[in-house]
Amino acid sequence: MHDFSQHLAELAAHSLRRTRRVVDGAQGPMLDADGAPCLAFCSNDYLGLANHPEIAAAAMAAAGEYGVGAGASALISGHSRAHEQLEQELAAFTGMPRALYFSNGYMANIGIIGALVGAGDAVFVDRLCHASLIDGVRLSGAGLRVFAHNDTARLEQVLARSKAPRKLVVTDAVFSMDGDLAPLAELAAICARHGAWLLADDAHGLGVLGPEGRGSLAHAGVNAPHVICMGTLGKAAGVAGAFAAGDATLIEWIMQRARTYMFTTANPPLLAAATSASLRIIVRDQWRRTHLGELAGLLRQGLAGLPWTLLPSPSAIQPLIVGGNADARALAQRLRELGIWAPAICPPTVPKGSARLRISLSALHTREHVAQLIGALRRIAGEMPRLATGATQ
């Protein structure tokens, strides 16, 4: 028998054992975590829609109409009118011919990649891509080729040399731990030159970037039959689920072949109805994106001159690079004592030596909330000169 209690002790000894805090009540800038109130900069609820009354009302109305469970997989009897309508709205929202609704982003990525490629094919993946994309490539049986972050010149070289019958390039559109953007227009052009598909995972751009929040591809002005958009609906959209959008034939093929679409019970129809309500608010409430931009500007100004560097990021993800793991954890811990929740992210989630505080902003944060975070970080920098100079790295 494997001794998992010993493995767990080892994880704990290396500060790698994860724990959870129990949150009471709804998501928002102020969270009640483990019974204590805190100011939260840890959520992906970028537009502040996770507790929006119109969306909750849409969910409740749909519960009245459809009940709770979907009853079966979408290809049997689980594809409700609410799901059908949402798919059409997602296609219109992204400006793509067709969309397919998945249970979540993890499953969407695994399903899409496995439908497009298999053994003998090649998938080219940015080094900082999300774990679900890597897992999707591994499960597909296709060869995994990792290229350096946003290194389009290198990508073009390896694509040109590849003899694989099917080629797929995979990238986060907004990188989840850095907040920077993939050069989607350039990637789409490279893929077109080398007969490859481009899969852009827009988990962090949808709702935040592009005109009316229509996402990173709209932001970059990219729309072509060889480009597939994967969007998640549990982050800025504030609900749950995900989708693939693109060329109608490609999406039909994904529906026929994606195992994570076929072999799972459809999400509750009430989630689809709630997501439809969310899409309407995303398009309508430009102020949420404008305000996010203002908050990011305030944060950047307020943190100037601190020993830690805020990465340049046009998104709601504002990472503060600390360096050493213990330093990043100490900083997060001290913030927590001051009533602020911003998670430390350490290797292997991010490259060695780049442990950071992943500060994420929400449209429901006020200027005062951001000022409070700035004040706390400035205070800690003063208190902890050893930490601030990175002496423990």
Measured from the CB atom, is 269 or 324 closer to ligand PLP? 269
Q: What is the DSSP letter of 360?
A: E
CA distance from start to end of the chain: 37
What are the backbone angles phi and psi of residue 346, rounded to the nearest 5°? -120, 165
Would you count residue 275 as binding ligand PLP (CB under 6 A)? no
Q: Is 7 a catalytic residue?
A: no
Would you count residue 232 as binding ligand PLP (CB under 6 A)? yes
Would you count residue 132 as binding ligand PLP (CB under 6 A)? yes
Q: For residue 386, what are its two tokens? A: 């050893």
Measured from the CB atom, is 162 or 360 closer to ligand PLP? 360
Sequence length of the chain is: 393
Q: Is 235 a catalytic residue?
A: yes
Residues 71-110 that bind ligand PLP (CB under 6 A): 104-106, 109
DSSP string of 308-327, one letter each residue: SEEPP-SSSEEEEEEESHHH
Name the minimum Å distance from CB 172 to ligand PLP. Answer: 5
Query: Among all residues, whose Cβ is closest to ligand PLP?
Result: 105
H-state helical runs in 175-247:
184-193, 216-220
129 close to 170: Cβ distance less than 8 angstroms: yes
Looking at the DSSP bridge assignments, the partners of residue 98 are 246
Name the minimum Å distance from CB 157 to ligand PLP. Answer: 25
**If residue 201 lies in a helix (H) or strand (E), which one and from where to where?**
strand 196-201
Interface pick for ligand PLP out of 231, 234, 246, 319 (rule CB under 6 A) = 234
219 in a known ligand binding site: no
221 close to 233: Cβ distance less than 8 angstroms: no
Q: Is 176 a catalytic residue?
A: yes
18 in a known ligand binding site: yes
From residue 190 to residue 229, what is the string marking binding to ligand PLP with x (rule CB under 6 A)?
-----------x-xx-------------------------
User: How many residues bind ligand PLP, per CB under 6 A?
Assistant: 14
Name the minimum Å distance from CB 208 to ligand PLP. Answer: 12
Give the pairing type, strands 36-40 and 196-201.
Answer: unpaired
H-state helical runs in 47-168:
53-66, 81-94, 105-116, 131-140, 152-161
From residue 241 to residue 260, what is the string marking binding to ligand PLP with x (rule CB under 6 A)?
-x------------------
182 close to 171: Cβ distance less than 8 angstroms: yes
140, 176, 278, 362: which is the annotated catalytic residue?
176
Binding residues for substrate: 18, 130, 349
Q: Which residues bind ligand PLP (CB under 6 A)?
A: 104-106, 109, 130, 132, 172, 176, 201, 203-204, 232, 234, 242
Active site residues: 176, 204, 235
